[in-house]
Amino acid sequence: MHWKTGWMKWLLFAVVVMGLVLWMGTQPRSVDVTESVIVDGDRAAIWQAVTDFDGVFHKSNPAHLETRFDTSSGGLFRDGTSFRQTELVGGFRGNLDGVVLDVYEGRRYAWRADTTYTVAGIPVTRVDEGGVLRIEKTRQGKGWMLSHRVYGRFPDTFKGRVLSWVMSAVFDIEADAARHTLTELEYIKRLVEGNGHG
């Protein structure tokens, strides 16, 4: 009789887990975070820092393993300029194949990337990622608000929806993305203010 009780517990556990996985497969999650800092410096200096992808931006976070900027643009930062980046987010290795969009010099730019996340070199999922970086006047009129909205959308498949929950609930990827973004902004703030721009 005792073995039947143990078997029933495992069966109930398996049913609950399967039900949870099936539910997750119908409820997609996404990452969407915005972080900001106030930079007491010259707007042009901030813009120069945030558009120096393979220099300043690469150095702004130790999680950036490699950053390559498309040099065919002649060093110009403009719509359509491509970049590649390898970084660590939430314990996963992300390989970004990205492009810069909607560039308004000195004010803002957007970016979009097709990102493949891997674990131990094995692809886990592809994510449609992107963001909008802005340099805006503060309400107080002192310094500039430097903000970066970052988003990630998982594939709209059963596997993609389940992985979105696993990466959110188990690996807390949204909180990690927020920390990752804030680390970059704080680095740029320290760099610009430390160089006496302003």
DSSP string, 162-184: HHHHHHHHTT-HHHHHHHHHHHH
Token pair in block for residue 28: 């997609």
Asked if 124 and 117 count as a contact pair (C-beta separation under 8 A), the reply is: yes
Residue that wins the pLDDT comparison between 28 and 191: 191
Tokens, residue 148: 């970066």
Tokens of 177: 């993305």
What is this structure's pTM?
A: 0.80
Cα–Cα distance, 96 to 117 (Å, whole number): 9
- 144 burial type by CB count under 10 A (0-12 exposed, 13-18 middle, 19+ buried): buried
- The per-residue pLDDT for range 94-113, each reduced to its tens digit, is 999 999 999 999 999 999 99
Helices (H), 25-157: 43-50, 58-59
For residue 183, what pLDDT band results from cuts at 50, 70 and 90? very high
Q: Which domain holds residue 133?
A: 2-194
Residue 116 CB-density burial (10 A; 0-12 exposed, 13-18 middle, 19+ buried): middle
Strand blocks (E) in the chain: 30-39, 64-69, 82-89, 92-104, 108-119, 122-137, 144-153
pLDDT band at 48 (very low <50, low <70, confident <90, very high): very high
Q: What is the mean pLDDT of the chain?
A: 83
The pLDDT value recorded for residue 5 is 63
Among candidates 64, 170, 174, which has minimal Cα distance to 127?
174
- pLDDT surpassing 70 at residue 132: yes
CATH of the domain at 160: 3.30.530.20
Quick check: 61 and 185 in contact, CB under 8 A? no
Q: What is the pLDDT of residue 74?
A: 67
The pair of structure tokens assigned to 120 is: 């131990």
Tens of pLDDT, residues 10-45: 665 555 555 554 445 455 667 889 999 999 999 999
Kindly state the average pLDDT of the residues 178-197.
88
Q: What DSSP state is assigned to residue 190?
A: H
92 pLDDT more than 90: no
Identify whether the C-beta of residue 125 lies closer than 8 Å to the C-beta of residue 154. yes
Total domain count, the chain: 1
- The confidence score (pLDDT) of residue 23 equals 47
The predicted-structure confidence for 137-179, as pLDDT tens digits, reads as follows 987 778 999 999 999 888 877 777 777 767 766 667 788 889 9
Residue 82 has what pLDDT? 92
* DSSP 8-state class, residue 189: H
